[in-house]
A = this chain, B = another copy of it.
Amino acid sequence: MSTASAPKLTRKDFVTDQDVRWCPGCGDYSILAQVQKVFPELGVPRENIVFISGIGCSSRFPYYMNTYGFHSIHGRAPAIATGLKVSRPDLMVWVVTGDGDGLSIGGNHLIHALRRNVDLKILLFNNRIYGLTKGQYSPTSELGKITKSTPLGSADHPLNPLLLALGADATFIARTIDVEAKHQQDIIRRAAEHKGSAFVEILQNCNVYNDGAFAALTDRETKADTQLVLEHGKPMIFGKNRDRGIRLNGLTPEVVTLGNGVSTADLLVHDEHDPVIAFLLSRMAPPEFPTPIGVLRVEQKPTFDALMNRQIEEAKAKFGEGDLEKLLHRGDVWTVP
Protein backbone atom coordinates (compact mmCIF):
# COMPACT_ATOMS: atom_id res chain seq x y z
CA MET A 1 0.00 0.00 0.00
CA SER A 2 1.32 3.38 -0.90
CA THR A 3 1.24 5.31 2.30
CA ALA A 4 3.88 7.73 1.18
CA SER A 5 2.66 11.26 0.86
CA ALA A 6 -0.86 10.80 2.15
CA PRO A 7 -2.24 14.11 3.31
CA LYS A 8 -3.56 14.11 6.86
CA LEU A 9 -7.13 12.89 6.75
CA THR A 10 -9.90 13.40 9.24
CA ARG A 11 -12.93 11.43 10.20
CA LYS A 12 -15.07 13.59 7.95
CA ASP A 13 -13.07 12.60 4.91
CA PHE A 14 -14.52 9.13 5.27
CA VAL A 15 -18.15 10.22 5.43
CA THR A 16 -20.24 10.07 2.25
CA ASP A 17 -23.16 12.23 1.24
CA GLN A 18 -25.61 9.33 1.44
CA ASP A 19 -28.29 9.14 4.11
CA VAL A 20 -27.48 6.32 6.48
CA ARG A 21 -30.47 4.03 6.22
CA TRP A 22 -30.14 1.73 9.20
CA CYS A 23 -32.91 1.68 11.79
CA PRO A 24 -32.54 4.31 14.46
CA GLY A 25 -30.68 2.70 17.34
CA CYS A 26 -29.01 -0.01 15.24
CA GLY A 27 -25.60 -1.14 16.43
CA ASP A 28 -24.24 -0.64 12.93
CA TYR A 29 -24.05 3.11 13.54
CA SER A 30 -21.45 2.70 16.21
CA ILE A 31 -19.35 0.40 14.05
CA LEU A 32 -19.43 2.92 11.24
CA ALA A 33 -18.39 5.65 13.64
CA GLN A 34 -15.43 3.69 14.99
CA VAL A 35 -14.20 2.76 11.54
CA GLN A 36 -14.46 6.35 10.39
CA LYS A 37 -12.62 7.40 13.49
CA VAL A 38 -9.73 4.97 13.12
CA PHE A 39 -9.21 5.23 9.41
CA PRO A 40 -7.47 8.61 9.30
CA GLU A 41 -4.86 7.15 11.62
CA LEU A 42 -4.00 4.31 9.24
CA GLY A 43 -2.18 6.68 6.94
CA VAL A 44 -3.62 5.00 3.86
CA PRO A 45 -4.93 7.40 1.23
CA ARG A 46 -8.68 7.15 0.87
CA GLU A 47 -8.44 6.19 -2.78
CA ASN A 48 -6.39 3.14 -1.93
CA ILE A 49 -9.05 1.67 0.29
CA VAL A 50 -11.87 -0.52 -0.97
CA PHE A 51 -14.87 -1.86 0.93
CA ILE A 52 -16.60 -4.89 -0.45
CA SER A 53 -19.78 -6.26 1.04
CA GLY A 54 -22.49 -8.80 0.35
CA ILE A 55 -26.17 -8.27 1.15
CA GLY A 56 -27.73 -7.55 4.51
CA CYS A 57 -28.16 -4.52 6.72
CA SER A 58 -24.48 -4.76 7.57
CA SER A 59 -23.55 -4.96 3.92
CA ARG A 60 -24.82 -1.45 3.30
CA PHE A 61 -21.68 -0.28 5.02
CA PRO A 62 -19.70 0.63 1.86
CA TYR A 63 -22.24 3.28 0.87
CA TYR A 64 -21.30 5.25 3.94
CA MET A 65 -17.54 5.07 3.59
CA ASN A 66 -16.00 7.63 1.31
CA THR A 67 -13.59 5.17 -0.23
CA TYR A 68 -14.04 2.89 -3.20
CA GLY A 69 -16.85 0.47 -2.52
CA PHE A 70 -18.74 -2.47 -3.96
CA HIS A 71 -22.05 -3.64 -2.54
CA SER A 72 -22.22 -7.00 -4.22
CA ILE A 73 -24.45 -10.03 -3.82
CA HIS A 74 -25.33 -12.22 -0.90
CA GLY A 75 -22.35 -14.07 0.52
CA ARG A 76 -19.85 -13.47 -2.29
CA ALA A 77 -17.84 -10.53 -1.00
CA PRO A 78 -14.77 -12.60 0.00
CA ALA A 79 -14.56 -14.06 -3.51
CA ILE A 80 -14.82 -10.68 -5.20
CA ALA A 81 -12.35 -9.21 -2.74
CA THR A 82 -9.90 -12.04 -3.42
CA GLY A 83 -9.87 -11.27 -7.13
CA LEU A 84 -9.35 -7.61 -6.42
CA LYS A 85 -6.62 -8.05 -3.85
CA VAL A 86 -4.68 -10.61 -5.86
CA SER A 87 -4.62 -8.42 -8.96
CA ARG A 88 -4.25 -5.15 -7.05
CA PRO A 89 -1.99 -5.86 -4.08
CA ASP A 90 -1.47 -2.10 -3.75
CA LEU A 91 -5.00 -1.64 -2.43
CA MET A 92 -6.19 -2.15 1.13
CA VAL A 93 -9.29 -4.30 0.86
CA TRP A 94 -11.96 -4.60 3.56
CA VAL A 95 -14.87 -6.96 3.57
CA VAL A 96 -18.01 -6.21 5.53
CA THR A 97 -20.43 -9.04 6.09
CA GLY A 98 -23.12 -10.31 8.44
CA ASP A 99 -23.77 -13.57 10.23
CA GLY A 100 -26.10 -14.61 7.45
CA ASP A 101 -24.06 -13.22 4.60
CA GLY A 102 -20.74 -14.47 5.86
CA LEU A 103 -21.63 -17.67 7.66
CA SER A 104 -24.76 -18.96 5.98
CA ILE A 105 -24.74 -18.47 2.22
CA GLY A 106 -21.17 -17.20 2.15
CA GLY A 107 -19.54 -19.60 4.60
CA ASN A 108 -17.49 -21.36 1.97
CA HIS A 109 -15.93 -18.24 0.48
CA LEU A 110 -15.12 -17.08 3.96
CA ILE A 111 -13.25 -20.20 5.01
CA HIS A 112 -11.38 -20.33 1.74
CA ALA A 113 -10.31 -16.71 1.95
CA LEU A 114 -9.13 -17.37 5.49
CA ARG A 115 -7.24 -20.56 4.76
CA ARG A 116 -5.57 -18.98 1.74
CA ASN A 117 -4.60 -16.08 3.96
CA VAL A 118 -5.64 -13.48 1.42
CA ASP A 119 -4.70 -10.08 2.81
CA LEU A 120 -8.29 -8.99 3.50
CA LYS A 121 -9.73 -7.35 6.59
CA ILE A 122 -13.02 -9.04 7.24
CA LEU A 123 -15.55 -7.47 9.59
CA LEU A 124 -18.43 -9.78 10.41
CA PHE A 125 -21.31 -7.99 12.11
CA ASN A 126 -22.91 -10.69 14.20
CA ASN A 127 -26.39 -9.77 15.37
CA ARG A 128 -27.48 -13.41 15.46
CA ILE A 129 -30.42 -12.67 13.17
CA TYR A 130 -31.29 -11.85 9.59
CA GLY A 131 -31.97 -8.15 9.78
CA LEU A 132 -32.60 -7.13 6.19
CA THR A 133 -35.09 -9.89 5.48
CA LYS A 134 -36.92 -8.96 8.67
CA GLY A 135 -36.14 -11.40 11.32
CA GLN A 136 -35.36 -15.01 10.51
CA TYR A 137 -32.84 -16.86 12.65
CA SER A 138 -29.23 -17.05 11.49
CA PRO A 139 -26.49 -19.67 11.84
CA THR A 140 -25.36 -17.92 15.02
CA SER A 141 -28.80 -17.85 16.63
CA GLU A 142 -29.04 -19.99 19.73
CA LEU A 143 -30.72 -23.40 19.58
CA GLY A 144 -34.46 -23.08 20.13
CA LYS A 145 -34.59 -19.52 18.84
CA ILE A 146 -38.11 -18.42 18.04
CA THR A 147 -38.23 -16.30 14.91
CA LYS A 148 -40.51 -15.80 11.95
CA SER A 149 -39.15 -18.86 10.23
CA THR A 150 -38.97 -20.94 13.40
CA PRO A 151 -42.18 -20.30 15.31
CA LEU A 152 -41.56 -23.48 17.31
CA GLY A 153 -37.89 -22.68 17.86
CA SER A 154 -34.86 -23.45 15.71
CA ALA A 155 -33.48 -26.99 15.69
CA ASP A 156 -29.97 -25.99 14.57
CA HIS A 157 -26.95 -26.01 16.80
CA PRO A 158 -25.32 -22.66 16.09
CA LEU A 159 -22.01 -22.03 14.36
CA ASN A 160 -19.29 -20.41 16.42
CA PRO A 161 -17.65 -17.83 14.14
CA LEU A 162 -14.33 -17.75 15.97
CA LEU A 163 -14.11 -21.53 16.16
CA LEU A 164 -14.90 -21.77 12.48
CA ALA A 165 -12.20 -19.24 11.64
CA LEU A 166 -9.80 -21.31 13.68
CA GLY A 167 -10.98 -24.40 11.84
CA ALA A 168 -10.01 -22.61 8.63
CA ASP A 169 -6.63 -21.84 10.17
CA ALA A 170 -7.13 -18.07 9.97
CA THR A 171 -4.05 -16.04 10.87
CA PHE A 172 -5.85 -13.26 12.75
CA ILE A 173 -8.94 -13.85 14.83
CA ALA A 174 -10.57 -11.26 17.05
CA ARG A 175 -13.87 -10.30 18.62
CA THR A 176 -15.24 -6.97 19.71
CA ILE A 177 -18.58 -5.34 20.51
CA ASP A 178 -20.50 -2.59 18.72
CA VAL A 179 -20.90 -0.39 21.75
CA GLU A 180 -17.34 -0.75 23.05
CA ALA A 181 -16.02 2.20 21.08
CA LYS A 182 -12.47 2.18 22.31
CA HIS A 183 -12.02 -1.58 22.21
CA GLN A 184 -13.46 -1.70 18.74
CA GLN A 185 -11.09 0.96 17.52
CA ASP A 186 -8.14 -0.98 18.87
CA ILE A 187 -9.26 -4.16 17.17
CA ILE A 188 -9.88 -2.41 13.86
CA ARG A 189 -6.42 -0.92 14.07
CA ARG A 190 -4.89 -4.30 14.85
CA ALA A 191 -6.76 -5.89 11.95
CA ALA A 192 -5.57 -3.17 9.61
CA GLU A 193 -2.00 -3.75 10.67
CA HIS A 194 -2.12 -7.52 10.26
CA LYS A 195 -0.58 -8.77 7.04
CA GLY A 196 -2.95 -11.54 5.97
CA SER A 197 -6.60 -12.42 6.45
CA ALA A 198 -7.91 -10.67 9.51
CA PHE A 199 -11.19 -12.01 10.81
CA VAL A 200 -13.07 -9.78 13.25
CA GLU A 201 -16.40 -10.74 14.74
CA ILE A 202 -18.26 -7.65 15.95
CA LEU A 203 -21.18 -8.44 18.23
CA GLN A 204 -23.88 -6.08 17.08
CA ASN A 205 -27.30 -5.34 18.45
CA CYS A 206 -30.21 -5.46 16.04
CA ASN A 207 -32.66 -3.49 18.07
CA VAL A 208 -35.55 -4.34 15.82
CA TYR A 209 -35.37 -8.11 15.40
CA ASN A 210 -33.06 -9.33 18.12
CA ASP A 211 -32.90 -6.54 20.65
CA GLY A 212 -30.81 -7.23 23.69
CA ALA A 213 -29.06 -10.28 22.27
CA PHE A 214 -25.89 -9.04 23.93
CA ALA A 215 -27.47 -7.10 26.77
CA ALA A 216 -25.71 -9.02 29.50
CA LEU A 217 -22.45 -8.34 27.75
CA THR A 218 -22.99 -4.63 27.31
CA ASP A 219 -25.04 -3.53 30.29
CA ARG A 220 -23.00 -1.29 32.45
CA GLU A 221 -24.13 -3.32 35.47
CA THR A 222 -23.02 -6.70 34.29
CA LYS A 223 -20.37 -6.22 31.66
CA ALA A 224 -17.37 -6.38 33.95
CA ASP A 225 -18.56 -9.84 34.94
CA THR A 226 -19.47 -11.02 31.49
CA GLN A 227 -16.61 -9.70 29.37
CA LEU A 228 -13.18 -11.26 29.42
CA VAL A 229 -10.97 -8.60 27.89
CA LEU A 230 -7.92 -10.27 26.41
CA GLU A 231 -4.47 -8.79 26.57
CA HIS A 232 -1.47 -10.55 25.16
CA GLY A 233 0.90 -11.70 27.88
CA LYS A 234 -1.54 -10.85 30.65
CA PRO A 235 -3.39 -13.30 32.89
CA MET A 236 -7.06 -13.75 32.14
CA ILE A 237 -8.79 -11.70 34.80
CA PHE A 238 -12.28 -10.26 34.84
CA GLY A 239 -15.07 -9.23 37.16
CA LYS A 240 -16.22 -5.96 38.64
CA ASN A 241 -13.58 -6.28 41.31
CA ARG A 242 -11.09 -7.91 38.95
CA ASP A 243 -11.19 -10.85 41.30
CA ARG A 244 -12.09 -13.60 38.92
CA GLY A 245 -10.02 -15.39 36.38
CA ILE A 246 -9.58 -18.36 34.08
CA ARG A 247 -7.49 -21.28 35.23
CA LEU A 248 -6.66 -24.49 33.42
CA ASN A 249 -7.59 -27.73 35.06
CA GLY A 250 -5.71 -30.22 32.94
CA LEU A 251 -6.87 -29.17 29.51
CA THR A 252 -10.17 -27.82 30.77
CA PRO A 253 -10.57 -24.13 31.54
CA GLU A 254 -12.50 -23.10 34.63
CA VAL A 255 -13.56 -19.86 36.27
CA VAL A 256 -11.92 -19.24 39.64
CA THR A 257 -12.13 -16.49 42.22
CA LEU A 258 -8.87 -14.97 43.30
CA GLY A 259 -7.98 -15.30 46.95
CA ASN A 260 -8.32 -18.32 49.16
CA GLY A 261 -5.11 -19.71 47.83
CA VAL A 262 -5.80 -18.82 44.20
CA SER A 263 -3.48 -16.16 42.91
CA THR A 264 -2.93 -14.40 39.63
CA ALA A 265 0.01 -16.69 39.00
CA ASP A 266 -2.38 -19.63 38.73
CA LEU A 267 -4.29 -18.03 35.91
CA LEU A 268 -3.98 -18.74 32.25
CA VAL A 269 -1.88 -16.09 30.54
CA HIS A 270 -3.15 -14.98 27.18
CA ASP A 271 -0.83 -15.74 24.29
CA GLU A 272 -2.04 -14.61 20.89
CA HIS A 273 0.39 -16.97 19.26
CA ASP A 274 -0.75 -20.15 20.95
CA PRO A 275 -3.39 -21.91 18.90
CA VAL A 276 -4.56 -24.01 21.83
CA ILE A 277 -5.36 -20.89 23.83
CA ALA A 278 -7.24 -19.53 20.86
CA PHE A 279 -9.17 -22.78 20.74
CA LEU A 280 -10.00 -22.65 24.43
CA LEU A 281 -11.07 -19.02 24.17
CA SER A 282 -13.18 -19.54 21.08
CA ARG A 283 -15.24 -22.11 22.98
CA MET A 284 -15.76 -20.08 26.14
CA ALA A 285 -19.29 -18.81 26.34
CA PRO A 286 -21.87 -17.80 28.86
CA PRO A 287 -23.38 -18.87 31.16
CA GLU A 288 -20.37 -20.91 32.30
CA PHE A 289 -17.75 -18.43 31.14
CA PRO A 290 -17.39 -14.77 30.41
CA THR A 291 -17.25 -13.86 26.72
CA PRO A 292 -13.69 -13.24 25.55
CA ILE A 293 -13.16 -10.10 23.52
CA GLY A 294 -9.94 -8.98 21.95
CA VAL A 295 -7.39 -10.65 19.71
CA LEU A 296 -7.54 -14.42 20.13
CA ARG A 297 -4.93 -15.34 17.62
CA VAL A 298 -2.20 -13.88 15.43
CA GLU A 299 0.10 -15.82 13.17
CA GLN A 300 2.42 -14.75 10.40
CA LYS A 301 2.22 -16.67 7.14
CA PRO A 302 2.84 -15.61 3.56
CA THR A 303 -0.30 -14.15 2.03
CA PHE A 304 -1.98 -15.64 -1.00
CA ASP A 305 -1.84 -12.38 -2.93
CA ALA A 306 1.87 -12.01 -2.24
CA LEU A 307 2.59 -15.57 -3.34
CA MET A 308 0.55 -15.12 -6.50
CA ASN A 309 2.35 -11.92 -7.39
CA ARG A 310 5.69 -13.44 -6.57
CA GLN A 311 5.00 -16.16 -9.13
CA ILE A 312 4.44 -13.51 -11.76
CA GLU A 313 7.64 -11.72 -10.86
CA GLU A 314 9.57 -14.97 -10.86
CA ALA A 315 8.14 -15.99 -14.20
CA LYS A 316 9.16 -12.65 -15.65
CA ALA A 317 12.61 -12.97 -14.16
CA LYS A 318 12.94 -16.44 -15.59
CA PHE A 319 11.28 -16.15 -18.98
CA GLY A 320 11.40 -12.40 -19.52
CA GLU A 321 8.40 -10.14 -19.98
CA GLY A 322 5.96 -12.02 -22.23
CA ASP A 323 6.31 -11.53 -25.99
CA LEU A 324 3.10 -12.44 -27.73
CA GLU A 325 4.49 -12.68 -31.24
CA LYS A 326 7.04 -15.18 -30.02
CA LEU A 327 4.54 -17.12 -28.03
CA LEU A 328 2.20 -17.56 -30.99
CA HIS A 329 5.06 -18.96 -33.02
CA ARG A 330 6.16 -21.35 -30.32
CA GLY A 331 6.12 -25.08 -31.01
CA ASP A 332 5.39 -26.89 -34.25
CA VAL A 333 4.85 -24.15 -36.77
CA TRP A 334 5.27 -24.45 -40.51
CA THR A 335 5.31 -22.02 -43.30
CA VAL A 336 3.39 -22.27 -46.52
CA PRO A 337 5.20 -20.28 -49.16
Contacts and interface: CB of A to CB of B under 8 A. Distances in A.
Interface of A: 104-108, 111-112, 115-117, 139, 152-153, 155-160, 163-169, 251-252, 274-277, 279-280, 283, 301, 304, 307-308, 311, 314-315
B107 A308 contact: no
Contacts of A112: 104, 107, 139, 159
Contacts of A301: 157
B155 A308 contact: yes
A68 B105 CA distance: 29
Contacts of A139: 112, 115
A92 B160 CA distance: 28
A191 to B, nearest CB: 19
26 contacts: A105-B108, A106-B108, A107-B111, A111-B164, A112-B139, A112-B159, A116-B157, A153-B311, A155-B304, A155-B307, A155-B308, A156-B304, A157-B169, A157-B304, A159-B169, A163-B166, A163-B169, A164-B167, A165-B167, A166-B167, A167-B167, A251-B276, A252-B276, A275-B279, A276-B276, A276-B280
A270 to B, nearest CB: 12
A284 to B, nearest CB: 12
Given A112-B139, A157-B301, 15 more contacts: A107-B108, A108-B108, A111-B111, A111-B164, A111-B167, A115-B159, A116-B157, A152-B311, A152-B315, A155-B307, A159-B168, A159-B169, A163-B169, A251-B277, A252-B276
Nearest to A274: B251
A160 to B, nearest CB: 6
A272 to B, nearest CB: 14
Q: A-B pairs with the 9 shortest C-beta distances?
A: A167-B167, A155-B307, A108-B108, A251-B276, A107-B108, A164-B167, A279-B279, A152-B311, A116-B156
A308 B155 CA distance: 6
Nearest to A153: B311
A85 to B, nearest CB: 13
Contacts of A307: 155
A145 to B, nearest CB: 12
Contact of A283 (B104, B275, B304, B315): B275
B117 A157 contact: yes
B167 A168 contact: yes
B155 A115 contact: no
B115 A157 contact: yes
Determine which residue in A105, A276, A311 has the highest number of CB atoms from chain B within 10 A of its CB, and name it: A276
Nearest to A308: B155
A302 B323 CA distance: 62
A159 B114 CA distance: 10
A269 to B, nearest CB: 11
Contacts of A165: 167
A106 B163 CA distance: 19
A294 B200 CA distance: 34
B111 A158 contact: no
Contacts of A116: 155-157
Contacts of A160: 169
